[in-house]
Amino acid sequence: INEADGSQTAFLDGNQPSRLCAPLRSSIEARGGSVLLGSPVSAIVAGEDGRVCHLLMRDGTKVVADEFVSAMPVDVFKRIVPEAWSHMPYFRQLDELEGIPVINLQLWFSTKLRAVDGLCFSRSPLLSVYADMSVCCAEYSDDDSTMLSLVFAPCNAQAGASRDWIKASDEEIVDAAMGELARLFPEEI
């Protein structure tokens, strides 16, 4: 939502599995649908008319349904798009998308950081987005401490990082994040 004085963002009022995924699953199953987890798709099989006939799962199972919803990463989806679809204008747009790896961090501080009062998009070379979840989300609400959720990116050379952070130890990643936070917020870190 664009506003004259900035953007407005919102967070789930709790963790994703219980606040988003479980209600979606319950709603789908209440209407006769099913949700398959841990079932990798190896192919989307399209008929002569271009419509999905079924999904072919990695274990060889065929899944037939009226509707399909997927949360697979874009790079995986691009590999299983039927050849007949790859020339359609809608699916040609996939050529422009490229998934990049990121590292998500959650850091807890025993004091309240006052400089981060919501969601921040950053020009930092390491921390592209971060939020104080103790301010943004009721589940983590705390007036005396801070729970920062950070997106550490870019995290490999493909994405523009100077080193491959994916191969770094947890300690190295946390040290780099803390160093960057100290640079961004010298009065508080």
d(CA 103, CA 152): 5
User: What pLDDT was estimated at residue 157?
Assistant: 83
3-state secondary structure 61-77: CEECCCCCCCCCCHHHH
pTM of the model: 0.68
User: What pLDDT was estimated at residue 6?
Assistant: 52
What are the CA-CA distances from residue 158 to residues 116, 153, 182 (Å)? 29, 11, 26
Secondary structure element (H or E) that encloses residue 104, with its range: strand 103-109
User: What pLDDT was estimated at residue 171?
Assistant: 96
d(CA 44, CA 139): 38
CB of 98 within 8 A of CB of 75?
yes
46 bridge partner residues: 52
pLDDT in tens, 78-119: 999 999 999 999 999 999 988 888 899 999 999 998 877 778
User: What pLDDT was estimated at residue 123?
Assistant: 81
d(CA 126, CA 179): 10
User: What pLDDT was estimated at residue 18?
Assistant: 85
Q: How many CA atoms lie within 13 A of 115 on its CB side?
A: 10
Q: Which pLDDT tens digits describe the chain residue by residue (189 residues)?
A: 344 555 556 677 777 888 888 999 999 999 999 998 888 999 999 999 999 999 999 999 999 998 888 888 888 899 999 999 999 999 999 999 888 888 999 999 999 988 777 788 888 888 988 888 888 888 888 999 999 999 998 888 888 888 999 999 999 999 999 999 999 888 888
User: What pLDDT was estimated at residue 153?
Assistant: 87
Contacts 24+ apart (CB under 8 A), 33-38: 33/65, 33/67, 36/63
2 bridge partner residues: 7
